[in-house]
Amino acid sequence: MNRILCIANQKGGVGKTTTAINLAVGMAKSGRKTLLVDLDPQCNATSGVGREPTARHPLVWNLPLREAIRATATPGLDLLPGSRSFRDVEILAGKSDETKVHLERHLQEGMQGYDFVFVDCPPSLGDLTKTALAGCTEVLMPIQCEYFAMEGLTQMIDVIREAMQHPNSRLQFGGILLTMYDASLELTAEVDREVRDFFGEIVYETAIPRDVAVAEAPSHGLAVLDYQPRSRGSLAYAELCMEVLET
């Protein structure tokens, strides 16, 4: 059975898309057939692997998803590109049960044949994120090691629990990932301790350090694993890939 991981957080700027890209590239490099799905209208996951957004989002086409999936420069990694079309965003975020069921079925059917699927969600708790959660098997939540790290987590967890109660849901809580980690700051240590004390074993042992290579990589259409493979950020994402594989 394939693993479909939803990378989600209602806050922006926490390393959500960067994590989705690097996990997808890392899993493909490990020999797992992998799909990266871009559901964020900003389309950063699409440009982050060197591809262009589509005029219309593949999930609202009346075509099999296999016809919309694109190969990337990484062998074994495919992409379902995003779209900046406001009309398509409205359709994808449709509130009707019929729309949600259609999208869930369409999404799941297109994911067959992959070992791992990583879904990059928009930074919100809206219907699009809820629909993605309903169609995934796990949720991974990156949080930034800063003062407001815990703010809004309760709301996000409530949305995740609601998705778990969805009929036929296979969703489990995959884990919480600490990002932009700066060991020289006392605040980082406080956030680390607070998150691990509260959430316990669902927090990944790996933390992603604050690293300029991680910030620069997307501007080159690359994962940091390819951009600077010996950087601290690259090594951390490689460790995270191994940790995800072991769970």
CATH number, domain of 217, equals 3.40.50.300
Number of domains observed in the structure of the chain: 1
Give the CB-side neighbour count of residue 129, counting CA atoms within 13 A. 22
Three-state SS at 70:
strand
For β-strands 3-7 and 70-71, DSSP reports them as unpaired
Instruction: Judge whether residue 62 has pLDDT over 80.
Output: no
Q: Please write the tens of the pLDDT for every residue from 25-61.
A: 999 999 999 999 998 888 999 999 999 988 887 777 7
Which of the listed ranges 63-67, 151-155, 167-171 does the model predict with the highest average pLDDT? 167-171
- Taking residues 145-159, report their average pLDDT: 79
Instruction: Judge whether residue 70 has pLDDT over 80.
Output: yes
DSSP state of 201: G
Instruction: Judge whether residue 95 has pLDDT over 60.
Output: no
Overall pTM > 0.75 = yes
Rounded-to-integer distance, Cα 158 and Cα 107, Å: 23
Q: Between residues 130 and 102, which one has the greater pLDDT?
A: 130
pLDDT of 134 reads 80
For the ranges 54-58, 149-153, 194-198, 200-204, which has the lowest average pLDDT?
149-153
- Taking residues 197-223, report their average pLDDT: 93
Among candidate residues 56, 140, 149, 134, the one with its CA nearest the CA of residue 102? 134
Parent domain of 142 = 3-246
Among candidate residues 155, 126, 78, 115, the one with its CA nearest the CA of residue 241? 115
